[in-house]
Each structure stands twice: as C-alpha cells, then as structure tokens.
Amino acid sequence: MFVAPGSSPERLAALILSVAASVSLPVSVKADFGSLDQLGPILEAGAARVVLQSAALGDPDLISAAAGAFSADRIAVEIEALRQDDHWRVRLGAADDLTEWDPETWARVVEAQGGGELIVGSAVPGAFGEPLDLELLSAVTSAVGVPVVAKGEGVGVEDLFDALMIGGAEGVLVGDALHSARYSVRDIKKYLSQHGLPVDFSE
C-alpha cells in the first residue's frame, strides 16, 4: 500500500501515474478523500484500488457510492483498532480519537456497503511498528466474507505466517522489515513454502 500523507488528489494522482508506470505490481493507495471526484483521478492514474479510513467512518455511504462508481474490488477500507481491556474500538485515522465502533461490527458495515477488501491492524505500537494482533485478525476474518489483509510488521517471518494461518488473513502488509533488511521477499516466500502455503517464486 502506498501512502502519501497530506497530498492533494491532483498531486497524488500525478505521483501514482509515475509509480504505476515503473512497476508491474498492483498499486494500492491510501486516498482518504470524501468525494468521488477526488477518488476518480487517482484510480484513473493507475491505482489498482484506493484505501479509505476516516472518510469512510465519517460517511459510510461513501463506500457504496465508490464501489458503485469504480467497482467493489477497487475500494478497500482500513480498520485500525485499539484494545481496551477485553475489547477493541476502531480508531479514527491517525488521531487518538476512538469511535463507538467495534472492529467486527464496522467490518460488517463495510462489507454490506460494498467494500471489496479490509486492511486490519492494531493501533498500539510494538517493537517493530504496529504488531500483528492475531486475536483481532481472527475476530474480523470470522465476521466477514471479503478478503482481509493484516497490517503490521511482526518481528519475524513466522509472524506473517501466523497472520495468514491463525489470523485468517489473505495477505500481510510488509514495509519496514523489508526496508531495514530484517528479511527479504524471498525469505518470506521460502518460509511460507516450507510450511505448506502455495508460493509463486517467478517474481
């Protein structure tokens, strides 16, 4: 997922146009804008999908409007949750403001509104960025039928495997671990393959 905080829709679209032309992989973009007129140019520039967060919480109907205009598989919603004792609350964007939503209920709303994918992570920083909360992942993946991607670094490759197998995620976002060379994409693929998951080594 590509994030460019503070960028206008126009600047973000120009940036995505350049990035999408340089890589063969699908590019997902966190574009937390509240109107179809702002989201459209980003998708037209080459983004495979846009990821909403606070804009969707502020107006859940935006999800269905965007899914209807651009197709559900191009609209994802990020759910960042903060654990409070024995339950979670969905956090509003990067601020510390918590909503009244629990992640399972909000995930069901997103699915009902036509969101095609969920990106789920804990708001509590861990040793290497945001931890992979397997209990949170399991709760959300059990609540919905749309694909769920785990957000969070994990300490080792085995944490990514756990997110897929125990948490039920269909994918895991990996950022700082690759940038800091704690492990490589090939390390990840090798570990997953050795533990029984199908892996494409052609890329």
Q: Examine the domain organization and report whether 148 and 114 are in the same domain.
A: yes
Residue 87 is inside which H or E element, if any? Answer: strand 87-90
pLDDT value of position 39: 96
Residues 24 and 79 in one domain: no
Residue 201 placed within a domain: no
Residue 37: which residues within 8 A CB-CB, separation 6 or more?
A: none
pLDDT, average across residues 23-39? 91
Look at residue 156 in the predicted model and tell me its pLDDT. 83
Q: How many domains does the chain have?
A: 2
- What's the chain's length in residues? 203
Token couple for 93: 């964007």
| Pair 100, 47 in one domain | no
**pLDDT per position as a tens digit, 18-27:** 888 888 888 8
In terms of phi and psi (left: phi > 0; alpha: psi -120 to 50; beta: otherwise), the region of 115 is beta
pLDDT at 76 over 80: yes
pTM strictly above 0.75: yes
Please state, rounded to an integer, the average pLDDT across all residues of the chain.
Answer: 88
pLDDT at position 31 over 70: yes
pLDDT surpasses 60 at 127: no
Q: Quick one: 44 and 80 in the same domain?
A: no
Q: Does one domain contain both 35 and 62?
A: no
Q: Say whether both 37 and 77 belong to one domain.
A: no
Residue 150 lies in a domain: yes
Where residue 126 falls among pLDDT bands split at 50, 70, 90?
A: low
Owning domain of residue 42: 1-52
**29 assigned to some structural domain:** yes
Whether residue 203 has pLDDT greater than 80: no
pLDDT tens digits for range 173-191: 887 777 777 778 888 889 8
